[in-house]
Amino acid sequence: MIPRIVLAGDQPVALIGIAEAIARSGVGLVTGQAASMDELQDILQTGWCDLIVTDFRMPERDRTGGLALLQDIRTAYPKIPLAVMTGMDNPAIHHAVLSMGVKALISKSDRLNEIPQAIKEVMLGSTYLSTTVLLAIVQGGLPLDFQQPRLSCLGREECRIVSALAAGSSVEDIASKLGVSTAIVFWRKHAVMRKLGARSDRELFAYLDELAGLPGEWFVDEEPMPELA
Protein backbone atom coordinates (compact mmCIF):
# COMPACT_ATOMS: atom_id res chain seq x y z
CA MET A 1 0.00 0.00 0.00
CA ILE A 2 1.23 3.47 -0.87
CA PRO A 3 1.87 5.53 2.31
CA ARG A 4 -0.58 8.38 2.84
CA ILE A 5 1.27 11.54 3.78
CA VAL A 6 0.11 14.82 5.32
CA LEU A 7 2.29 17.91 4.89
CA ALA A 8 2.37 20.77 7.39
CA GLY A 9 4.03 24.16 6.98
CA ASP A 10 3.29 27.84 6.53
CA GLN A 11 4.88 28.23 3.08
CA PRO A 12 2.39 27.05 0.40
CA VAL A 13 4.92 27.23 -2.45
CA ALA A 14 7.35 25.03 -0.53
CA LEU A 15 4.62 22.50 0.24
CA ILE A 16 3.67 22.34 -3.44
CA GLY A 17 7.29 21.62 -4.35
CA ILE A 18 7.52 18.88 -1.72
CA ALA A 19 4.22 17.34 -2.86
CA GLU A 20 5.45 17.30 -6.47
CA ALA A 21 8.75 15.67 -5.45
CA ILE A 22 6.84 12.97 -3.57
CA ALA A 23 4.47 12.41 -6.50
CA ARG A 24 7.33 12.13 -9.02
CA SER A 25 9.19 9.63 -6.85
CA GLY A 26 6.12 7.48 -6.25
CA VAL A 27 7.05 6.91 -2.59
CA GLY A 28 3.73 8.14 -1.23
CA LEU A 29 0.46 9.93 -1.76
CA VAL A 30 -0.04 13.41 -0.26
CA THR A 31 -3.56 13.39 1.13
CA GLY A 32 -3.55 16.78 2.85
CA GLN A 33 -1.67 20.02 3.42
CA ALA A 34 -1.95 22.05 6.63
CA ALA A 35 -0.79 25.59 7.32
CA SER A 36 -1.34 25.41 11.10
CA MET A 37 -1.68 22.95 13.97
CA ASP A 38 -5.46 23.39 13.89
CA GLU A 39 -5.59 22.53 10.18
CA LEU A 40 -3.37 19.51 10.79
CA GLN A 41 -5.73 18.26 13.49
CA ASP A 42 -8.75 18.75 11.21
CA ILE A 43 -7.09 16.74 8.41
CA LEU A 44 -6.04 13.91 10.70
CA GLN A 45 -9.51 13.67 12.24
CA THR A 46 -11.11 13.09 8.84
CA GLY A 47 -8.69 10.64 7.23
CA TRP A 48 -5.97 8.10 7.81
CA CYS A 49 -2.31 9.12 7.71
CA ASP A 50 0.83 6.98 7.58
CA LEU A 51 3.37 9.81 7.90
CA ILE A 52 3.39 13.50 8.88
CA VAL A 53 5.99 15.73 7.23
CA THR A 54 6.09 19.05 9.05
CA ASP A 55 8.10 22.23 9.20
CA PHE A 56 9.96 22.75 12.48
CA ARG A 57 7.98 25.93 13.13
CA MET A 58 4.42 27.13 12.61
CA PRO A 59 3.44 30.83 12.69
CA GLU A 60 1.08 30.52 15.63
CA ARG A 61 3.76 28.66 17.61
CA ASP A 62 6.60 31.18 17.21
CA ARG A 63 6.37 32.18 20.87
CA THR A 64 6.75 28.63 22.15
CA GLY A 65 9.14 27.28 19.54
CA GLY A 66 9.56 24.24 17.34
CA LEU A 67 10.22 21.69 20.08
CA ALA A 68 6.88 22.54 21.71
CA LEU A 69 5.12 22.09 18.35
CA LEU A 70 6.72 18.68 17.82
CA GLN A 71 5.89 17.61 21.36
CA ASP A 72 2.23 18.53 20.77
CA ILE A 73 2.14 16.51 17.53
CA ARG A 74 3.89 13.52 19.12
CA THR A 75 1.53 13.62 22.11
CA ALA A 76 -1.62 13.88 19.98
CA TYR A 77 -0.53 11.31 17.36
CA PRO A 78 2.07 9.03 18.97
CA LYS A 79 1.58 6.20 16.46
CA ILE A 80 2.13 8.30 13.33
CA PRO A 81 5.79 8.63 12.29
CA LEU A 82 7.02 12.21 12.07
CA ALA A 83 9.49 13.74 9.60
CA VAL A 84 10.67 17.30 10.18
CA MET A 85 12.06 19.94 7.83
CA THR A 86 14.25 22.65 9.30
CA GLY A 87 16.15 25.71 8.15
CA MET A 88 18.39 25.69 11.23
CA ASP A 89 21.96 24.41 11.40
CA ASN A 90 22.18 23.78 15.14
CA PRO A 91 23.32 20.30 16.24
CA ALA A 92 22.07 20.82 19.80
CA ILE A 93 18.53 21.42 18.53
CA HIS A 94 18.86 18.69 15.90
CA HIS A 95 19.68 16.16 18.61
CA ALA A 96 16.80 17.41 20.79
CA VAL A 97 14.37 16.97 17.88
CA LEU A 98 15.52 13.41 17.20
CA SER A 99 15.47 12.47 20.89
CA MET A 100 11.73 13.30 20.87
CA GLY A 101 11.12 10.34 18.59
CA VAL A 102 11.18 12.16 15.24
CA LYS A 103 12.04 9.61 12.55
CA ALA A 104 13.54 11.93 9.93
CA LEU A 105 15.18 15.34 10.05
CA ILE A 106 15.77 17.10 6.75
CA SER A 107 17.58 20.40 6.22
CA LYS A 108 15.92 22.85 3.85
CA SER A 109 19.36 23.55 2.41
CA ASP A 110 19.62 19.98 1.12
CA ARG A 111 18.31 18.79 -2.23
CA LEU A 112 14.57 18.25 -2.50
CA ASN A 113 15.05 14.62 -3.46
CA GLU A 114 16.19 13.87 0.09
CA ILE A 115 12.55 14.07 1.18
CA PRO A 116 11.41 11.03 -0.87
CA GLN A 117 14.51 9.18 0.35
CA ALA A 118 13.62 10.06 3.94
CA ILE A 119 10.08 8.77 3.41
CA LYS A 120 11.40 5.47 2.09
CA GLU A 121 13.67 5.01 5.10
CA VAL A 122 11.00 5.98 7.65
CA MET A 123 8.42 3.62 6.16
CA LEU A 124 11.02 0.84 6.44
CA GLY A 125 11.37 1.61 10.15
CA SER A 126 14.68 3.47 9.97
CA THR A 127 15.72 6.94 11.09
CA TYR A 128 16.88 9.33 8.37
CA LEU A 129 19.20 12.33 8.66
CA SER A 130 19.73 14.52 5.63
CA THR A 131 23.28 15.32 4.53
CA THR A 132 23.49 18.74 6.22
CA VAL A 133 21.87 17.55 9.44
CA LEU A 134 24.22 14.58 9.72
CA LEU A 135 27.25 16.81 9.11
CA ALA A 136 26.15 19.30 11.77
CA ILE A 137 25.63 16.57 14.37
CA VAL A 138 29.05 15.08 13.62
CA GLN A 139 30.70 18.52 13.75
CA GLY A 140 28.98 19.10 17.09
CA GLY A 141 30.70 15.99 18.43
CA LEU A 142 27.39 14.29 19.25
CA PRO A 143 26.69 10.56 19.12
CA LEU A 144 24.19 9.19 16.62
CA ASP A 145 22.17 7.81 19.51
CA PHE A 146 18.91 9.63 20.11
CA GLN A 147 17.42 7.51 22.89
CA GLN A 148 18.18 10.09 25.59
CA PRO A 149 18.15 13.91 25.47
CA ARG A 150 21.57 15.47 25.87
CA LEU A 151 20.46 17.26 29.05
CA SER A 152 20.61 13.88 30.77
CA CYS A 153 24.40 13.94 30.23
CA LEU A 154 24.83 17.08 32.32
CA GLY A 155 25.88 16.97 35.95
CA ARG A 156 23.94 18.71 38.71
CA GLU A 157 26.16 21.78 38.84
CA GLU A 158 26.22 22.04 35.05
CA CYS A 159 22.43 22.00 34.98
CA ARG A 160 22.34 24.80 37.54
CA ILE A 161 24.71 26.95 35.51
CA VAL A 162 22.72 26.38 32.31
CA SER A 163 19.50 27.10 34.17
CA ALA A 164 20.95 30.41 35.41
CA LEU A 165 22.13 31.31 31.90
CA ALA A 166 18.68 30.52 30.51
CA ALA A 167 17.16 32.81 33.15
CA GLY A 168 19.30 35.68 31.88
CA SER A 169 22.21 35.63 34.34
CA SER A 170 25.61 36.52 32.95
CA VAL A 171 28.76 34.52 33.61
CA GLU A 172 29.87 37.35 35.88
CA ASP A 173 26.58 37.19 37.84
CA ILE A 174 26.92 33.45 38.32
CA ALA A 175 30.55 33.72 39.38
CA SER A 176 29.68 36.43 41.91
CA LYS A 177 26.83 34.35 43.34
CA LEU A 178 29.05 31.31 43.69
CA GLY A 179 32.06 33.22 44.95
CA VAL A 180 34.34 31.80 42.26
CA SER A 181 36.27 33.25 39.35
CA THR A 182 34.63 33.87 36.03
CA ALA A 183 37.23 31.54 34.51
CA ILE A 184 35.74 28.58 36.41
CA VAL A 185 32.22 29.41 35.24
CA PHE A 186 33.44 29.90 31.66
CA TRP A 187 35.13 26.50 31.82
CA ARG A 188 31.94 24.83 33.07
CA LYS A 189 29.87 26.64 30.47
CA HIS A 190 32.09 25.43 27.62
CA ALA A 191 32.01 21.89 29.02
CA VAL A 192 28.20 22.10 28.85
CA MET A 193 28.36 23.39 25.28
CA ARG A 194 30.52 20.43 24.24
CA LYS A 195 28.09 17.96 25.80
CA LEU A 196 25.07 19.60 24.16
CA GLY A 197 26.77 20.00 20.78
CA ALA A 198 26.48 23.80 20.77
CA ARG A 199 29.34 25.23 18.73
CA SER A 200 28.79 28.86 19.78
CA ASP A 201 26.97 31.01 22.33
CA ARG A 202 24.35 31.68 19.68
CA GLU A 203 23.61 27.98 19.27
CA LEU A 204 23.55 27.45 23.03
CA PHE A 205 21.02 30.22 23.65
CA ALA A 206 18.89 29.19 20.66
CA TYR A 207 18.74 25.71 22.23
CA LEU A 208 17.83 27.15 25.64
CA ASP A 209 15.12 29.30 24.05
CA GLU A 210 13.59 26.15 22.55
CA LEU A 211 13.66 24.40 25.93
CA ALA A 212 11.94 27.41 27.51
CA GLY A 213 8.98 26.91 25.17
CA LEU A 214 8.30 23.40 26.43
CA PRO A 215 5.52 23.00 29.01
CA GLY A 216 6.68 22.50 32.58
CA GLU A 217 10.21 22.95 33.85
CA TRP A 218 13.06 21.29 31.99
CA PHE A 219 15.22 21.64 35.12
CA VAL A 220 13.88 22.20 38.60
CA ASP A 221 16.04 22.51 41.67
CA GLU A 222 14.94 24.46 44.74
CA GLU A 223 18.29 24.17 46.52
CA PRO A 224 20.76 27.08 46.32
CA MET A 225 23.63 26.68 43.90
CA PRO A 226 26.65 25.27 45.69
CA GLU A 227 30.14 26.60 45.24
CA LEU A 228 32.05 25.02 42.43
CA ALA A 229 35.28 23.21 43.12
CA–CA distance, 122 with 83 (Å, rounded to integer): 8
Report the Cα 23 to chain-centroid distance in Å.
27
H/E element holding 46? helix 37-46
Q: Which fold has domain 150-212?
A: Arc Repressor Mutant, subunit A (1.10.10)
Q: Contact 52/40 with Cβ under 8 angstroms?
A: yes
Q: What is the pLDDT of residues 149-200, one digit of tens each?
A: 888 888 888 888 888 888 889 999 998 888 888 998 999 999 999 999 999 9
- Say which CATH architecture domain 4-139 belongs to: 3-Layer(aba) Sandwich (3.40)
Percent of the chain whose pLDDT exceeds 90: 62
Task: Tell me the per-residue pLDDT of 101-123, one tens digit each, with 9 for 90 and over.
Answer: 999 999 999 999 999 999 999 99
Lowest mean pLDDT among 57-61, 131-135, 210-214: 57-61
**Burial environment of residue 223 by CB neighbours within 10 A (0 to 12, 13 to 18, 19 or more):** exposed
- What would you report as the CA-atom Rg of the chain, rounded to the nearest whole angstrom? 19
Query: Which residues have CB under 8 Å from 136's CB, separation 6+?
Result: 89, 90, 91, 94, 107
Q: Global pTM? A: 0.87
**Do 197 and 140 form a contact (C-beta atoms < 8 A)?**
yes
User: Which residue ranges make up each domain of the chain?
Assistant: 4-139, 150-212
8 A C-beta contact, residue 64 and residue 213? yes
